[in-house]
Amino acid sequence: MTHINLSSSVFRATESILETDNRHHPDTRAVTKQLSGRIRETYWHIYPDEISPYTNQTISVLSEITDETTNSGFDNEEYDLIVKVGDVLGSATSYEGRYYSANPETVSRYQIEDRLGCGMFGQVFKAKDLSKSREVAVKILKSKGAYFRQGMLEISILSMLNDVYDKDGSKNTVRMLDHFLYCNHLCIVFELLGSNIYQMLQENEYQGFSISDVRRYMTQLLQCLEVLFDAHIIHCDIKPENLVFDPTTNGIKVLDFGSACFDNYTLYTYVQSRHYRAPEIILGIPYNNSIDMWSAGCICAELVLGIPLFPGSSEFNQLFKITDMLGNFPSRLLEQGTKTSSFYNKLGSGESSRYIMKQPFEYEIENHLRLEPNKKYYKFKTLRELIMRIPLQVSNNLRDEINNTTEIRAALLNFIEGMLEFDPMKRWTPSQALCHPFITQSQFFGSWSPPAGLSTPRQAEDGTFVSITSEEFTRKCFGNELILHGLNTAEYYDICTVALQMGEVVNITCPNPLQLPPMTPVTFRKTFENMHKRGRSGSNGPNQRITMRRSSLLRSQENIARLALIRNQTPRMVEQEIKEEGFIESGCLATVRRRFDSCNPRMTHTPASDFKLVRNAGVKATDVGSVKLEQNEGEVDRSVAIVQEPSNVNIPIIPIPIRKNTKEEENFEFAPLFIFGQEGKDKETPI
């Protein structure tokens, strides 16, 4: 292999860059100037329409190509990674390195084969796991802070389900196989499943399924919702597209937890797909797990009918279709809604008051929009007429088709009505619905009430209750020696994964998750502690599929030796120096351990006892922060040093070669380096 002798002067930052006060916008000139490794891979990301040097054919680009690019040319203008057929993603090819993955002790390689879909949060690709020779699905989130933080919550929820509440997968939750960082994108790897329920209805020409299939699919959905209820998780997006057929079990699994939250800390007021959106969401009422049961009731009817039960064209039209088929909402429910006045006129006051839904023209005038005309999809007006009179295929058995059809229809109607109860506190829970005669196939006598002793709906919480403070959370997971500053992508990822393996879920509503109490449900914290105790006692402990990791932000006795300052630096300073005998020549540009800390000022090799870290009280979560390094014994030239850190999640990564030794036969190893510069076209959003 031919080696390149690189001079550190080539990478020296100019005074104009140092004087710039723009920390978040990359200098596009630096990309061309600094790239010295992986040049071919980077070139095919930036110019995907060129001829491949490997196949001599035009590269097949799976992502949408736009006129403008972001993330130093790796993304289109929608912040989606530009992906081609044959790309190999994973910790083995990531600029961030294998440390920022589910299992830092191994490397992963996923070769892209096709795109399965795209959405608001990112893209999903079919890929081949080159390490284990299996087909997988890789979800690549957009490289923007809000999507990244929500993705970290999705990883936390999937880890809770896969490793604690549904370890064997018998409750029909999708299996998360891996996760890693790739060019500022969070990537999550799942098992590859088959068609979803919506596609199956399409293939069936929207005729609906037999009652036996409806019963089977609803049982599997309710089993999943039951474990979510026990874990205090709200899925927030139950719909046919997220119920996917698993050919290995001949059943369905629930996926896409990208909108999920905890019932003790609901995040957003606008959730769920419109056709499956619960009334409390539309009216602005605090919600709980019952919104998933409303969606389940809508899906059950759709499995029978073949098309959505409430196919509203707007929120106003959605409310109209719900009340037109099920009747009016009770006044006490409308009184609780913060958005009730947008859809209803209140007549009178006190106990004699009542609500009347606005006319379409009133809603149009008040909101300055034009509503689509209401479309009727059914000739029957009420749900009872619909279920009792539509053509119904009981099963593939003609005898079952003839016998007990009326009883089955009545049981199905009662089953759907229990999940479409207007009052969330009266709506059935998953465990109650699983006991219904329609599911158990026991005799139905015309009416049914859930047996005593089963779980009941929990009161919706406003998210203000916390069981531990942010200080207690920080001490529990990181001790008292954590650098607190504005976080980049890798640091945020690191904090989330370390906290999760301590039984805590960080608060994603803040750019710095250490400034607010965690979102961890109390039940999960107790369950995790009990499993940890059993693990230490030799009993069946928690699933160790995800390797325990140590935060790169935790400056402990084992890595404090790197923290002695050579000289003052700024986040814009490109040149870095390492003086560590036996590793690299003095004055050579390098990064160490393939981490996102290469813009930190480099430290000489100093005994760990010479320094300790204290938190700087003046640090802001959204700004560049600092940490004091205080001298203990007076043997270091600088008694106090300030370590500057970048605050932006979307910082371009430039691979810089480092030499392990001076022998010419040794290969280069590439590691990331932050480059800051003049204001460019990229408009990045920090976490």
What's residue 104's pLDDT?
A: 86
> What pLDDT, in 10s, does the model give residues 307-339?
999 999 999 999 999 999 999 999 999 999 999
Report residue 262 CA to chain centroid gap: 13
> Strand 628-631's sheet: what is its strand order?
611-614, 628-631, 640-642
Examine the domain organization and report whether 153 and 231 are in the same domain: no
Examine the domain organization and report whether 384 and 339 are in the same domain: yes
What's residue 399's pLDDT?
A: 53
Which candidate in 237, 292, 597, 682 is catalytic? 237
What is the percent of the chain with per-residue pLDDT over 70, rounded to a whole number?
Answer: 66
Say which residue, 466 or 361, is predicted with more confidence: 361
Report residue 663 CA to chain centroid gap: 45
Residue 241 in any domain: the answer is: yes
Task: Over range 473-480, report the average pLDDT.
Answer: 83
Examine the domain organization and report whether 43 and 151 are in the same domain: yes
676 confidence band (pLDDT: 50, 70, 90): very low
What's residue 470's pLDDT?
A: 87
Residue 336 in any domain: the answer is: yes
What's residue 8's pLDDT?
A: 35
16 CB burial (10 A radius; 0-12, 13-18, 19+):
exposed
Examine the domain organization and report whether 213 and 159 are in the same domain: no
What's residue 44's pLDDT?
A: 57
Instruction: Please name the residue ranges forming H helices in 2-38.
Output: 15-19, 28-34
Alpha carbon distance 65, 302 (integer Å): 36
- From 412, 440, 468, give the residue that closes a domain: 440
Residue 483 scores a pLDDT above 70: no
Say which residue, 40 or 87, is predicted with more confidence: 87
Q: Which two tokens stand for residue 396?
A: 């593939």
What's residue 65's pLDDT?
A: 85
Reference 483, options 397, 368, 596, 387; nearest CA is 596
Residue 114 in any domain: the answer is: yes
For the chain, counts of helices (H) and of strands (E):
20, 21
- From 440, 472, 505, give the residue that closes a domain: 440
Do residues 143 and 650 touch, judged by C-beta distance below 8 A? Answer: yes
What's residue 348's pLDDT?
A: 86
Reference 172, options 250, 253, 235, 278; nearest CA is 253
Examine the domain organization and report whether 388 and 271 are in the same domain: yes
What's residue 36's pLDDT?
A: 52
211 is in which domain, residue-wise?
197-254+267-440
Reference 603, options 640, 565, 549; nearest CA is 565
3-state secondary structure string across 382-413: CHHHHHHHCCCCCCCCHHHHHCCHHHHHHHHH
475 confidence band (pLDDT: 50, 70, 90): confident
Which residues make Cβ contacts (< 8 Å) with residue 354, sequence separation at least 6?
331, 346, 347, 348
Residue 355 in any domain: the answer is: yes
Which residues make Cβ contacts (< 8 Å) with residue 193, sequence separation at least 6?
137, 174, 244, 245, 246, 247, 253, 255
> What pLDDT, in 10s, does the model give residues 50-85?
565 555 566 688 998 888 989 888 999 999 999 999
Examine the domain organization and report whether 357 and 211 are in the same domain: yes
Task: Over range 247-261, report the average pLDDT.
Answer: 94
> What pLDDT, in 10s, does the model give residues 280-310?
999 999 999 999 999 999 999 999 999 999 9
Q: Which residues pair with 227 in a beta bridge?
A: none
Examine the domain organization and report whether 160 and 224 are in the same domain: no
Residue 6 in any domain: the answer is: no
Alpha carbon distance 43, 50 (integer Å): 9
Residue 406 scores a pLDDT above 70: yes
> What pLDDT, in 10s, does the model give residues 419-440?
999 999 999 999 999 999 999 9
Examine the domain organization and report whether 370 and 230 are in the same domain: yes
Say which residue, 265 or 403, is predicted with more confidence: 265
Examine the domain organization and report whether 297 and 171 are in the same domain: no
Task: Over range 24-44, report the average pLDDT.
Answer: 49
> What pLDDT, in 10s, does the model give residues 492-545?
999 999 999 889 999 999 888 888 899 999 999 988 888 877 765 555 544 444
Q: Which two tokens stand for residue 462?
A: 């406003």
What's residue 178's pLDDT?
A: 95
Examine the domain organization and report whether 84 and 163 are in the same domain: yes
Is residue 237 part of the annotated active site? The answer reads yes
Place of tokens 């500053």: 485
What's residue 58's pLDDT?
A: 63
Beta-carbon neighbour count of residue 523 at 10 Å?
14
The verdict on whether residue 139 carries a ligand-binding annotation is yes
Beta-carbon neighbour count of residue 673 at 10 Å?
24
Q: What is the CATH number of the domain that holds 236?
A: 1.10.510.10
Q: Which amino acid is at 639?
A: S
What's residue 134's pLDDT?
A: 95
Residue 681 scores a pLDDT above 50: no
> What pLDDT, in 10s, does the model give residues 110-148?
999 999 999 889 999 999 999 999 999 999 999 999 999
Residue 555 in any domain: the answer is: no
What's residue 25's pLDDT?
A: 41
Residue 349 scores a pLDDT above 60: yes
Residue 612 in any domain: the answer is: no
Say which residue, 346 or 16, is predicted with more confidence: 346
In the predicted model, what is the mean pLDDT of the chain?
75
Q: What is the CATH number of the domain that holds 36?
A: 3.30.200.20
Examine the domain organization and report whether 249 and 273 are in the same domain: yes
Residue 100 scores a pLDDT above 50: yes
Do residues 249 and 469 touch, judged by C-beta distance below 8 A? Answer: no
191 confidence band (pLDDT: 50, 70, 90): very high
How many alpha carbons lie under 13 Å from residue 678 in its C-beta half-sphere?
6
Residue 40 in any domain: the answer is: yes
What's residue 35's pLDDT?
A: 53
Q: Which amino acid is at 256?
A: D
Q: Which amino acid is at 401?
A: E
Beta-carbon neighbour count of residue 681 at 10 Å?
11
Reference 143, options 107, 184, 114; nearest CA is 184
What is the percent of the chain with per-residue pLDDT over 90, rounded to a whole number?
Answer: 50
Structural domains counted in the chain:
2
Q: Which residues pair with 630 in a beta bridge?
A: 612, 640
Examine the domain organization and report whether 175 and 220 are in the same domain: no
- From 151, 167, 191, give the residue that closes a domain: 191
Q: Which helix (H) or strand (E) holds 432?
A: helix 430-434
Reference 33, options 686, 683, 673; nearest CA is 673
> What pLDDT, in 10s, does the model give residues 555-592?
333 333 333 332 333 332 222 333 333 333 333 322 22
